[in-house]
Amino acid sequence: MTEEFAVQGGAVAKPKILIVDDEPDVVGLIERTLKVYGFDTLKAYDGIGALDLVSTEKPDLILLDIMMPMMSGYEVCEQIKANPQTQNIPVVCLSSAHTPDARAHSLRAGAVELITKPFMPAELVAQIRRYLRIESPVE
């Protein structure tokens, strides 16, 4: 199920996705799913770690849990969008909150989408492809 991505300098460039969640099991599940679909992944378990990785690694897209201790996903997203160096990185928020307010707050913070947990892996991958403008393979 892996796929070819754009060639850069003779090597295949795989999109790099930063996964941010305070639950290691969730991070592991998402990471395994994305690797099956040919994405490279980075992991952070809190907002501070996420902001550090965003500034040093410049991921192509960020999957960001909203409810985390110390710094919420909303705050992390706002800081990413306030930085001219990172403001164009798409942020997809993840949350178990199934409320219109959670969606509205995510969008106000600068996210492109809110996906509610639990989600289907195919839905997550489809949204990632959408925001990275990657065409889905014909199956």
Please check the confidence at residue 1 and state whether its pLDDT lies above 50.
no
* Distance separating alpha carbons of residues 98 and 38, to the nearest angstrom: 29
The per-residue pLDDT for 113 is 95
> Which domains does the chain show, CATH number per domain?
7-132 (3.40.50.2300)
Measured between alpha carbons, how far is 16 from 3 in angstroms, rounded to an integer?
14
> What would the mean pLDDT of 57-67 be, rounded to a whole number?
97
Residue 7 has pLDDT above 50, yes or no: no
Q: What are the tens digits of pLDDT across the range 82-123? A: 999 999 999 999 999 878 899 999 999 999 999 999 999 999
Whole-model pTM: value is: 0.89
Interval 115-132: pLDDT, tens = 999 999 999 999 999 999
